[in-house]
Amino acid sequence: MTRNGIHHVTAIAGSAQRNVDFYTRTLGLRLVKKTVNFDDPGAYHLYYGDAAGSPGTILTFFPWENAAPGRAGAGELQETSFRIPLSAIGYWTERLINFGVERTTRFGETVLTFRDPDGMRLALVGLPGIEAEAAWDNGEIPLENALRGFYGVSLMLERTEATGAILSDVFGFAEVAREGDTTRYQAEGTAIGGIVDLRAVGGFLPARLGRGSVHHLAFRAADDAAEAEMVRKLAANHGLHTTEQKDRNYFRSVYFREPGHVLFEIATDIPGFDVDEPAQTLGEALKLPQFLEPHRAAIEAHLPELV
Ligand code: ZN
């Protein structure tokens, strides 16, 4: 079975409560994990996705209440897009009216672009024939209009060749189309989270990380062996070295800076989000990795309350 494509996207937000409201209510995603940033336990790490938190549907945030706004530019992930049924374009145009929604056409597909409350660039891509796919029911958005996982991401890079070579050689993507300054790569056999667009923007100011910026982009590896093989190829064919593997409880990850300066991660599909709480109640309780459990009381006292 092919397991290529995007695993998750992680971005920076301001207010945690505002972030939860927008992604669970306005966009109708499921909060599948409420935990803390393992490297900065004073802040939440919030995961949104489909009912099960499947790879290819997961958008995660580090909400730092006082984060300064980011600045768009070269060397970052510019836009994250989700799949919606083509028939839902009208519904979402109306629903996102307060978020700067604009309708456009890319690669022959109807696309709605808009911003989240922190200025993060998002898009919905209308696709025919996906109405019957399973979707999370947030109790408000009619199921036939609900989001169906990631469509893809676009990266803004000074130069795109070396990054494209990694997508093709290591992550199972192939170049499938070009439009203007954008080259489209598609993961073979992957309907959800299978698109990466590389936009060449030589001469742009470099991006500055902050609220509304994407922190990193994670690609899927089926298991540890598949991840190790990707690490080997990165070193042997591209001269790139990753971090050691880090246990993120729900997946196991390595990180590296790709040639265009975007932080890439490789994350295993296993073990998944039901490893420490039942699938039925994902995201309801604050979950901590074992090494932080002794500090639970102090961590809980410090985190803002979420309703
Ligand atoms: Zn990550």
Per-residue pLDDT tens digits for 116-130? 999 999 999 999 999
Taking the centre of ligand 1 as the mean of its atom positions, its distance from the CA of residue 264, in whole angstroms, is: 8
Identify whether 112 is part of a domain: yes
On whether the CB atoms of residues 193 and 298 are closer than 8 A, the answer is no
Identify whether 307 is part of a domain: no
Taking the centre of ligand 1 as the mean of its atom positions, its distance from the CA of residue 218, in whole angstroms, is: 6
What total number of domains does the chain contain? 1
Identify whether 64 is part of a domain: yes
- pTM of the predicted model as reported, rounded to 2 decimal places: 0.97
The CA–CA distances, whole Å, from 244 to 22, 48, 153, 237 equal 34, 26, 26, 19
Taking the centre of ligand 1 as the mean of its atom positions, its distance from the CA of residue 97, in whole angstroms, is: 30
Give the chain's mean pLDDT. 96
pLDDT of residue 2: 58
Taking the centre of ligand 1 as the mean of its atom positions, its distance from the CA of residue 153, in whole angstroms, is: 15
Residues with Cβ–ion distance below 5 A, ligand 1: 10, 218, 265
Per-residue pLDDT tens digits for 189-229? 899 999 999 999 988 999 999 999 999 999 999 999 999 99
Identify whether 23 is part of a domain: yes
Domain with 124, as residue range(s), is 6-302
Identify whether 269 is part of a domain: yes
Taking the centre of ligand 1 as the mean of its atom positions, its distance from the CA of residue 185, in whole angstroms, is: 21
Residue 269 maps to which CATH number? 3.10.180.10
Check whether 292 has a pLDDT greater than 60.
yes
Beta-carbon count within 10 A of 33 CB: 24
Taking the centre of ligand 1 as the mean of its atom positions, its distance from the CA of residue 178, in whole angstroms, is: 28
What percent of the chain has pLDDT above 70?
99
- Residue 239 backbone phi and psi in degrees, to 5: 65, 25
Identify whether 1 is part of a domain: no
Taking the centre of ligand 1 as the mean of its atom positions, its distance from the CA of residue 39, in whole angstroms, is: 12
191 or 163, which is more confident: 163
Identify whether 14 is part of a domain: yes
Check whether 261 has a pLDDT greater than 90.
yes
pLDDT of residue 3: 77
3 state SS for the chain: CCCCCEEEEEEEECCHHHHHHHHHHHCCCEEEEEEEECCEEEEEEEEEECCCCCCCCEEEEEECCCCCECECCECEEEEEEEEEEHHHHHHHHHHCHHHCCEEEEECCEEEEEEECCCCCEEEEEEECCCCCCCCCCCCCCCHHHCCCCEEEEEEEECCCHHHHHHHHHCCCEEEEEEECCEEEEEECCCCCCCEEEEEECCCCCECECCECCEEEEEEEECCHHHHHHHHHHHHHHHCCCCCCCEECCCCEEEEEECCCCCEEEEEECCCCHHHCCCHHHCCCCECCCHHHHHHHHHHHHHCCCCC
Taking the centre of ligand 1 as the mean of its atom positions, its distance from the CA of residue 200, in whole angstroms, is: 24
Identify whether 195 is part of a domain: yes
Residue 85, preceding bond cis, omega within 30 degrees? no
Taking the centre of ligand 1 as the mean of its atom positions, its distance from the CA of residue 9, in whole angstroms, is: 7
Taking the centre of ligand 1 as the mean of its atom positions, its distance from the CA of residue 273, in whole angstroms, is: 14
pLDDT of residue 189: 87
Taking the centre of ligand 1 as the mean of its atom positions, its distance from the CA of residue 113, in whole angstroms, is: 24
d(CA 237, CA 128): 39
Edge to edge, the sheet with strand 150-157 lists: 102-106, 109-115, 121-127, 76-85, 150-157, 195-200, 182-187, 173-179
